[in-house]
Amino acid sequence: MTIAIGDKLPATTFKEKTADGPVEITTEQLFSGKRVVLFAVPGAFTPTCSLNHLPGYLENRDTILGKGVDDIAVISVNDWHVMGAWAQSSGGMGKIHFLADWDAGFTRAVGLDADLSAGGLGLRSKRYSMLVEDGVVKALNIEESPGQATVSGAAAMLELL
């Protein structure tokens, strides 16, 4: 079942690569008492993710934070090494969280997993964005196609804020 507006996010642990190495970040640490924009991509370094989805959030980071958002995070079913390399190459390291959902535990728990085997990617996340307040989903924008980044993009999120 897909998570819905008003639902609390499930407890899980992500990994994030930092300058000091990988660290674990729990949903409690990331969302408790905070207003957070979370967006998910099918895969780091994939064309739509790298050229259309992520850049909008990096370019609009300060504007989003200026609207009362405490943090921004991107999640993907990749390992923390890949997410760390993506953070470095995109210029996003230290600006937003690049969270590895390496075993798709969170992605499956929120019901936003996608079988992209036909495209050679296997089990991945659907492309989406959500506004989370104190661990509760306040807005959820799911793309119909993994190749689109419109309803889940930064511009759409800014309209909600």
Residues with a known catalytic role: 49
Question: What SS3 state is found at 41?
Answer: strand
Give just the sign of the alpha carbon dihedral 71, 75, 80, 86: negative
How are the residues of the chain apportioned to helix, strand and coil, as percentages rounded to the nearest 5? 30, 35, 35
Which tokens belong to 124? 């991945």
Within 10 Å of residue 18's Cβ, how many Cβ atoms?
A: 15
- What beta strand segments (E) does 46-94 contain? 71-76
Distance CA 134, CA 51 (A): 30
